[in-house]
Amino acid sequence: MRYISIKNLPNMIGDEAWVRGWLHHVRRQGKLIFLVIRDPTGFVQAVVKPLIGEEKFKIAEKLTRETAVIAKGIIKEDKRAPYNNIELQLITINPVISNALPELEYEIRPDSGPQVMLDKRHLVLRGEQASDIMRFRDFITRSFRKFFFSRDFVEVTPSIIVQTQVEGGSTLFAFKYFEQEAYLTQSSQLYLETVLPSLGNVFCALPSFRAEKSRTRRHLTEYTHIEAEMPWFEFEDLLDFMEDMIIHVYTKAKESIIPSKFDQKITIPSKPFERVSYEKTIDLLREYELKGESGEYLEHGDDITEGPERALVDRIGKPTFLTHFPTGMKPFYMKVNEKNPEIMNAADLLLPNVGEIIGGSQREDDLEVLLERMKEEGLDPKPYYWYIDQRKYGTVPHSGFGLGLERTVQAMLNLDHIREACLYPRLINRATP
């Protein structure tokens, strides 16, 4: 039997076609049964009329939502039909294997709270909105890969199991690795740096883990981290590269109809993006009357927390680099500015709706400064011998960044919560399903 993908049905008006899929909706109206059949390519309204025959009508009457079906029908043009102005007038329809359980078992209703939605995530993912987000995420992931490959990057997969920290000890997930202690990686950056001398530009798209105690709308404990590292890249090269990458991804995203379904208009940003130094940010926050979570204005030397960071970029209304953080505010691997050792050659990229989606920097290539910075952070250099070796054997200026894929999707579709941008979100109180 040749089954037709639902997306191809509009080209076959008047023909008979076999389709297979799942019942997205089931509705009785007088003597008619209206069904919406879903396959991975789309939705089609199907109608069962009594003239299908008594026996077949009885089978159709018993069909429940989410039953997998195979069906044959005639494709008719119908301006009232909810999908593509066509309707499938069924000649036959049969459940595959068995009818699905009655709808009540679902427990997903418009007023279901977030916990029910998360418990039933495996069923929520069959819905139009959740599957649109997953498709958009796939689309965006591909566009990142495409961009990297167009610039001759090599994709690598460093291990998730590590024995070093990258972003501070407080968010490490530690576990027993046979007789030793190990961690789930916070970032693959240090490993990417090790292959620059042989592979050149490298990237990875892997899970990173953060034991984040904060419950915010943009924090996960496991997220997909797109990280890249480039040799011979100084700070300006890095900003330029990130701009090109984001413009590429926005240009691709504009080709997708999914953002419009979320009332989002994709505006392709232009180069150069807004750049605001840390010092200037603190002043701007005061000027724009944007206070911190405590209700006070941030002072020079304070961390820029999520609330004011997001308020600032929402106010600016376009992608913005926050640059040159005070030395010591950011991790040991970031390069201390040659002219002003008080600041670092680092930049976060902020997007409206979410705030920070990228953390990037030029890397400290001076062995002495690196060791000093590790000391200041209380890091024992021993487990980092392989990282420190990079500075001993042919170091060059280099830079890189890490981008949170879920935050990027969240920002582009203006999703309320980052959990909607993951297949199965991992949150402070949730590691299931």
Candidates 69, 140, 162, 166: give the one binding ligand 4AD (CB under 6 A). Answer: 166
Candidates 183, 191, 223, 233: give the one binding ligand 4AD (CB under 6 A). Answer: 223
Which residues contact residue 159 at a Cβ distance below 8 angstroms, ignoring those fewer than 6 apart? 185, 191
Q: Closest separation between CB of residue 6 and ligand 4AD, Å?
A: 34
Give how many residues touch ligand 4AD by CB under 6 A: 24
193 binds ligand 4AD (CB under 6 A): no
Across the beta sheet with 274-277, the strand order is 154-155, 202-209, 222-231, 398-404, 355-362, 346-351, 320-323, 274-277
Binding to ligand 4AD in span 405-424, by CB under 6 A: 406-407
162 binds ligand 4AD (CB under 6 A): no
- Tokens at 154, concatenated: 């090599």
Which listed range, 119-127, 155-163, 223-231, 258-266, lies at the site for ligand 4AD (CB under 6 A)?
Answer: 223-231
Candidates 325, 401, 413, 415: give the one binding ligand 4AD (CB under 6 A). Answer: 401
Contact by Cβ (8 Å): 407, 216:
no
Binding to ligand 4AD in span 27-86, by CB under 6 A: none
Which listed range, 22-30, 122-130, 173-181, 182-190, lies at the site for ligand 4AD (CB under 6 A)?
Answer: 182-190
Going from the C-alpha of 168 to that of each of 245, 339, 378, the distances in angstroms are 28, 27, 10
210 binds ligand 4AD (CB under 6 A): yes
Report how far residue 17's alpha carbon sits from residue 3's, in angstroms, rounded to the nearest whole number. 7
Report how far residue 3's alpha carbon sits from residue 6's, in angstroms, rounded to the nearest whole number. 9
Candidates 219, 248, 324, 391: give the one binding ligand 4AD (CB under 6 A). Answer: 219
252 binds ligand 4AD (CB under 6 A): no
- Please give the single-letter amino acid code of residue 263: D
Which listed range, 102-110, 117-125, 220-228, 275-283, lies at the site for ligand 4AD (CB under 6 A)?
Answer: 220-228
Q: Closest separation between CB of residue 339 and ligand 4AD, Å?
A: 22
SS3 content of the chain, % helix, strand, coil (to 5): 35, 25, 40
220 binds ligand 4AD (CB under 6 A): yes
| Residue 204, H or E segment | strand 202-209
Residue with Cβ nearer ligand 4AD (48 or 349): 349
Residue with Cβ nearer ligand 4AD (45 or 187): 187
Q: Closest separation between CB of residue 413 and ligand 4AD, Å?
A: 15
187 binds ligand 4AD (CB under 6 A): yes
Candidates 158, 292, 400, 425: give the one binding ligand 4AD (CB under 6 A). Answer: 400
Which listed range, 50-58, 219-227, 257-265, 372-380, lies at the site for ligand 4AD (CB under 6 A)?
Answer: 219-227
DSSP state of 304: -
Going from the C-alpha of 370 to that of each of 182, 333, 390, the distances in angstroms are 23, 7, 11
356 binds ligand 4AD (CB under 6 A): yes
Maximum separation of any 2 CA atoms in the chain, in Å: 86
Residue with Cβ nearer ligand 4AD (225 or 373): 225
Site map (CB under 6 A) of ligand 4AD, residues 275-314, x = contact: ----------------------------------------
Q: Which long-range contacts (CB under 8 A, 24 or more apart) does 414-421 make?
A: 414/262, 414/263, 414/264, 414/353, 415/133, 415/262, 416/217, 417/114, 417/217, 418/217, 418/218, 418/219, 418/220, 418/223, 419/114, 419/118, 419/220, 420/130, 420/133, 421/133, 421/137
Report how far residue 8's alpha carbon sits from residue 373's, in angstroms, rounded to the nearest whole number. 60
Q: Closest separation between CB of residue 301 and ligand 4AD, Å?
A: 19
Report how far residue 203's alpha carbon sits from residue 70's, in angstroms, rounded to the nearest whole number. 43
Per DSSP (E only), the strands in 295-394 are 320-323, 346-351, 355-362
360 binds ligand 4AD (CB under 6 A): yes
Which listed range, 83-91, 110-118, 184-192, 335-343, lies at the site for ligand 4AD (CB under 6 A)?
Answer: 184-192
227 binds ligand 4AD (CB under 6 A): yes
Classify burial at 126, counting beta carbons within 10 Å of its beta carbon; exposed 0-12, middle 13-18, buried 19 or more: middle
φ, ψ for residue 103, nearest 5 deg? -55, -30
Nearest partner of 184 among 203, 199, 166, judged by Cα: 166
Residues that bind ligand 4AD (CB under 6 A): 166-167, 186-187, 189, 210, 212, 219-220, 223, 225, 227, 356-360, 400-404, 406-407
